[in-house]
Amino acid sequence: MVASVLVVMIAAGIAWFVARDDGPNLVTGVETAATSGQESEAGSSQEAEDPSKSASPESEKQAEQQAKVLDALLTDSRGSRSGLGPALNQLRSCTDTAPALETVRRVTDARREQVVQVKALDTGAFDGGDTVKNRLTEALTASFNADEAFLTWATRQDADCDKAWSGDKDYQRGLAFSGKATAAKRSFLELWNPLAQRYNLPKRAEHEI
């Protein structure tokens, strides 16, 4: 009888010891698994919130093509502007006013077309494209307004040349618009020249637009 009681007590003691010894390990295992799961979820969340910011080759190619189209318009602008200064000098000095008048008319017509073209440009693919387009539109519009005012003055000069031209209202209006155009060109070039360098296009200066 005594032996049976001892066997039962020993068995109970062993069971209690095993339960006490394994308990913390079981809890620790659960906590470790939970912590590991949380870290995994945090890692996945961090990866989802950190997408690549680099442009795809396709979008970069599209941006480059749009920049090249805009650059071609700037080249046209430079060509149309080149003859304006000498023509105005001829008109101011009342020398060969007829061909000078035709030059001013040609430049004005070219400017009008350039304003139409810049408004139709698609510039959404490169950085700040809409702002670049708006600033160039403002610059070319002011240039067109200046040329149009000079054309009105030049038409009168050709018909009846007046060497006291400096006070003419249309000539002064042309100068005012020309000043606005210069400021707008400067603002445009602040954005454009870094883009031109990025796409291996020539940098521009105010007098080239």
3-state SS, residue 177: helix
Q: CB–CB of 181/139 below 8 Å?
A: yes
Whole-model pTM: value is 0.72
Query: How many CA atoms lie within 13 Å of 159's alpha carbon, on the beta-carbon side?
Result: 6
Alpha helices, DSSP H, located in 82-168: 84-92, 97-120, 129-159
- Compute the distance between CA of residue 143 and CA of residue 40 in angstroms, rounded to an integer: 61
Q: What number of helices (H) and strands (E) belong to the chain? A: 6, 0
pLDDT in tens, 40-59: 444 434 433 333 345 688 88
Interval 58-81: pLDDT, tens:
888 999 999 999 999 999 998 888
